[in-house]
Structure 1
Amino acid sequence: MKLQSVDESLIQIDVEAENFEDAVRKSMEPLVAQEYVKPSYVEKILSIYRETGPYIVITTHIALPHADSEAGALKMGIGFTKLKHSVVSGNVANDPVKYLFPLSATDSTKHIQMLSKLAELLGNPSFVEGLDTVTSKEEFIALLTKYEGNEQHDA
């Protein structure tokens, strides 16, 4: 599965968020609306964040909101939210957060495959720099296509 096949309805650009919890909630709204996850899944993410801290801030400026599939994941999906203004998560090494990749995985195997694919992209400084210039859903998909295409020449 390539991330470039992401459902466009899960992509949001220039989202206004008051704080990190609001950013997580807003990044997950399309996944709830499109029935990728139940509202309980979002609440579980926020509950874990409150208990353990910003575990979902995985690298500089990037958060990956997710929880265990049992918390209410209904189908496999990943979205993208670019915030209009960065927010502080409490992860000193990686704040402020500008980009969120909300994830819904129905089992741990698919979860790991999706995380692995995303990690490859996020490990590419040119891809991450490209996120700064994205102003539309189409530009985000084009960015994914460009960098995923460089990794696999059979597509």
Structure 2
Amino acid sequence: MNIDLYESADDATLSEISRHAESLLASQLQTAIAADQRALTFSGLLVAGVAAIIAVAAGTSRPALPLVLMATLLGLAAVCSLWSARPTRWFFVGTAPVNWEADLTDPEKTLRRSKAEMVAHYDSGLYQNAEAIRHAAWAMRSALVLTGAALWVAIIWAWAQALR
């Protein structure tokens, strides 16, 4: 984050950079909210699937290994999906007025310097949010892989039963 580089920009360019950063921060927030909703909905479906498998398995004296494996895989997928939607440190657009006190009390500080610092601050926040999104996406992909594995167990088991 090079505040001096941002400060060297003319005022119109600095304002445009700030506007685009604020727009991207808002887009990141929309993306994260949608991803969290998807993850929570998916985890609800997975938990229902695990409950159904457990209900079927409970009706037998000795549950079939594929049922136990499917319930385990779907349970792990639910955990990954919930992990994806966990609260994380998030950078929101804007600044609190209290954060301007140092700028207002420093007679040497120009508005351009303050704007440059804000743009650098936004840049740091964009990176922080991108990392949070990346980690959540990894957890959600893991949930999907585990769900796919459970589906393959079900398909293979069904074929094995059919070909008996």
TM range (shorter): under 0.3
Name the TM-score, length of structure 1 as normaliser.
Answer: 0.21
As a proportion of its length, which structure holds more strand? 1
As a proportion of its length, which structure holds more helix? 2
Greater Rg, structure 1 or structure 2? 2
Q: RCO (CA 8 Å, sep 6+): is it higher in 1 or 2?
A: 2
Name the TM-score, length of structure 2 as normaliser.
Answer: 0.20
